[in-house]
Amino acid sequence: MLKYIIRRLVMLIPVLLGVSILTFSLVHLIPGDPAKSMLGEKATETQLELLREEMGLNDPYIVQYGNFIGKILQGDLGESIQSKEDIAVEIAQKLPATIELTIFAMILAMVIGILAGVIAAVKQYSWFDNVSMTGALFGVSLPIFWLGLMMIWVFAVELKILPPSGRLASTVELETITNFYLLDSILSGNWGAFKDAFFHLLMPGLALGTIPMAVIARMTRSSMLEVMGQDYIRTAAAKGLKKQLIIFQHALKNAFLPVLTIIGLQFGFLLGGAVLTETIFSWPGIGRYVYQAVLARDYQIVQSTILIIATIFVLVNLLTDILYKYFDPRIKYE
């Protein structure tokens, strides 16, 4: 098992190398001049040329790429072209916000998605099945940005029960330890802040979690339907076990494997989806950070952040593969 994990970690190197080439190329293919966006429209050609030279923009691409990778290997993600801030520091500050949001959205999606899928399967063709699966169809089809805006309009503007943006009300004090606000408020025993942070998480979490929730619900349903027809489920019933036990233990553990695969993949989409959600809800995470960097042609930030997101995605997939073994003892990793 340990050997397998090590091998998978080594395999990360070519994957991330590929990602770095891809992002580097994409960023440099996008039209727009970073020098111009820094100095503004009124800059003279000499000023621009000087800045380009200073930033290394006139070097051949291969040299620029070499510099980029060389720095990253030293743990240096470079500095923002605009603010001159160290990108690594900025990401370290913003990443917890994104991860908190992503995990919250994922938990929401898993709890509701799996429960709805299981009930829909057990009560196949019932009104619950029809309603929840039609709902799931809507869920995968709704654009996140539209859903997010509608939620803000309904819950924040009209009903005024949820905050429209941000992570914490400006009136709430919270000592930041890990930068995960829910965790920090628990650690410092600050329940007022916990409640406020939770309410701030609800809308973006729901908006972000809608698509995975729908996908998980549909996958759980079809997987459960298949498992419920298996011989061992009949055996469990013939042993006189309670129905809930048969459904939630005997069936669900077997049905969970394909759902787990989906969850692992959806996690990646969530990180991507965070760009939209964070922008709409002014969530100070790396999604919004990248979005603003793209607008400002701050390609250093874009490159580095995408690389970080890709690394997280690959690690989540590795974790998924390791979890497989827990759910299915027949899986062997040599």
Binding site residues, another protein, CB under 8 A: 230-232, 234-242, 245, 250, 253-254, 327-330
d(CA 176, CA 231) in angstroms, rounded, equals 53
Q: Which is nearer to another protein, 233 or 315 (CB)?
A: 233
86-109 residues labelled b (16+ CB within 10 A) or e (exposed):
ebbebbebbbbbbbbbbbbbbebb
| Residue 272: other Cβ atoms inside 10 A | 12
In the bound state with another protein, the residue whose beta carbon lies nearer, of 198 and 327, is 327
DSSP letter at 162 equals S
Nearest approach in angstroms of CB 330 to another protein is 5
Closest CB to another protein among residues 185, 254: 254
Integer CA distances (angstroms), 256 to 30, 226, 234, 251, in order = 41, 11, 19, 8
* Cβ contact 217:116 at 8 Å: yes
Residue number with CB closer to another protein (28 or 253)? 253
Neighbours of 66 (CB within 10 A): 12
Give 191 or 232: the residue with its C-beta nearer to another protein. Answer: 232
Q: Which is nearer to another protein, 218 or 250 (CB)?
A: 250
Q: What distances in angstroms separate CA 259 from CA 68, 99, 142, 323, 332, one per listed residue? A: 38, 21, 21, 12, 19
Q: Find out whether 285 and 125 touch, Cβ atoms under 8 Å.
A: no
Question: Looking at beta carbons only, is 7 or 242 nearer to another protein?
Answer: 242
Long-range CB contacts for residues 74-80, cutoff 8 Å, separation at least 24: 77/300, 77/304, 77/308, 78/300, 78/303, 78/304, 79/300, 80/293, 80/298, 80/300, 80/301
Question: CB of residue 128 vs another protein: minimum separation in angstroms?
Answer: 16
Residue 154 C-beta: closest distance to another protein, Å: 40
